[in-house]
């Protein structure tokens, strides 16, 4: 079974995001970048499937600038067998990414596609669903558990009322939630081995996809500064402030 797993380059989640002085975008200068945390979970799940003998090959795919190869090499160090990089310096929207992934899916013909449910930079939570629509594949989103049994993907997904389990005919698309697994760290020997694993480079033109923006970023602002809290000496003072200052009672 071939598993295709997607990887996105984002600002490391431990780094405080800075906004450019002119509010046109996020400042990426001298900022540590990493694999999107949900994509890390997707890579880990694919590796576990291979370790269990269910998967035979893992193909990691990323789209973005040349620097995104760093994250692909990390995915290779974590256990992916080979990587595909669609290189472009253009800002990519979810639909464009889904279209390019659909072309790669046509070429690679994977049995299972595992994706992070969303990226922590854009938070769109759209690409997996769009890819399912374009490819005509069944999808299981927000997966907290994944099993492969009798040619079907059994996906336990988190919904408002609790948990729901769906059976997907393969090939299928699964998007990962936080509770699916705990990603491992890449060991130094595997990091060295990853340098010799194949990494193929393509362009959007190679895939026949036009990179054109349908939305325009107007302004980026940091969250409003929170005011400091205060201490009160009694319940009566607390009630008075809630009533007269906060006006919530």
CATH code of 143's domain: 3.40.50.620
Overall average pLDDT of the 189-204 stretch:
94
Domain that holds residue 103: 2-244
pLDDT on residue 107: 95
Domain assignment present for 159: yes
Q: How confident is the model at residue 209 (pLDDT cuts 50, 70, 90)?
A: very high
Q: How confident is the model at residue 118 (pLDDT cuts 50, 70, 90)?
A: very high
Encode pLDDT of 212-245 as tens digits: 888 888 898 888 888 888 888 999 999 998 998 8
Encode pLDDT of 41-73 as tens digits: 999 999 999 999 999 999 999 999 999 999 999
Evaluate the omega torsion of the peptide bond into residue 171 and state whether it is cis, within 30 degrees of 0.
Answer: yes
Phi, psi dihedral angles at 74 (to 5 degrees): -65, -45
Domain assignment present for 92: yes
The label of the residue with tokens 């690409």 reads: 127
Task: Judge contact between 61 and 5, C-beta under 8 A.
Answer: yes
CA distance 156 to 145: 5
**Number of residues in the chain:** 249
Domain assignment present for 249: no
Q: How confident is the model at residue 122 (pLDDT cuts 50, 70, 90)?
A: confident
Q: How many domains does the chain have?
A: 1
Q: How far is CA 228 from CA 45, 203, 225, 244, in A?
A: 42, 50, 9, 18
Q: How confident is the model at residue 247 (pLDDT cuts 50, 70, 90)?
A: confident
Domain assignment present for 179: yes
Domain assignment present for 108: yes
Overall average pLDDT of the 162-186 stretch:
94
pLDDT on residue 66: 94
Of residues 222 and 105, more confidence is placed in: 105
Overall average pLDDT of the 79-107 stretch:
94
DSSP 8-state symbol, 15: S
Cβ neighbours of residue 246 under 8 Å, at least 6 residues apart? Answer: none
């Amino acid at each position: 079974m071939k598993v295709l797993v997607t990887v996105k380059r984002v600002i490391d989640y431990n780094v405080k995001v800075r906004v450019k002085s002119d509010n046109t975008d996020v400042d990426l200068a001298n900022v540590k970048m990493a694999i999107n945390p949900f994509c890390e979970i997707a890579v880990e799940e694919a590796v576990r499937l291979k370790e269990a003998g269910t998967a035979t090959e893992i193909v990691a795919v990323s789209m973005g600038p040349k620097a995104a190869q760093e994250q692909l090499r990390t995915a290779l160090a974590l256990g992916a067998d080979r990587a595909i990089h669609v290189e472009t310096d253009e800002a990519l929207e979810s639909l464009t990414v889904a279209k390019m992934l659909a072309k790669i899916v046509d070429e690679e013909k994977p049995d299972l596609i595992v994706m992070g449910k969303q990226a922590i930079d854009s938070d769109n939570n759209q690409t997996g669903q769009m890819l399912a629509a374009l490819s005509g594949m069944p999808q299981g989103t927000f997966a907290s558990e994944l099993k492969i049994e009798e040619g079907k993907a059994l996906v336990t997904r988190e919904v408002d009322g609790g948990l729901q389990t769906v059976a997907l005919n393969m090939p299928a698309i699964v998007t990962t939630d936080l509770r699916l697994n705990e990603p491992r760290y890449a060991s130094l020997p595997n990091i060295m081995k990853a340098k010799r694993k194949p990494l193929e480079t393509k362009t959007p033109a190679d895939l026949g996809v036009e990179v054109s923006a349908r939305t325009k970023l107007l302004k980026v602002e940091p969250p409003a500064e929170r005011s400091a809290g205060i201490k009160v000496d009694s319940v009566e003072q607390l009630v008075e402030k809630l009533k007269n200052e906060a006006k919530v009672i």
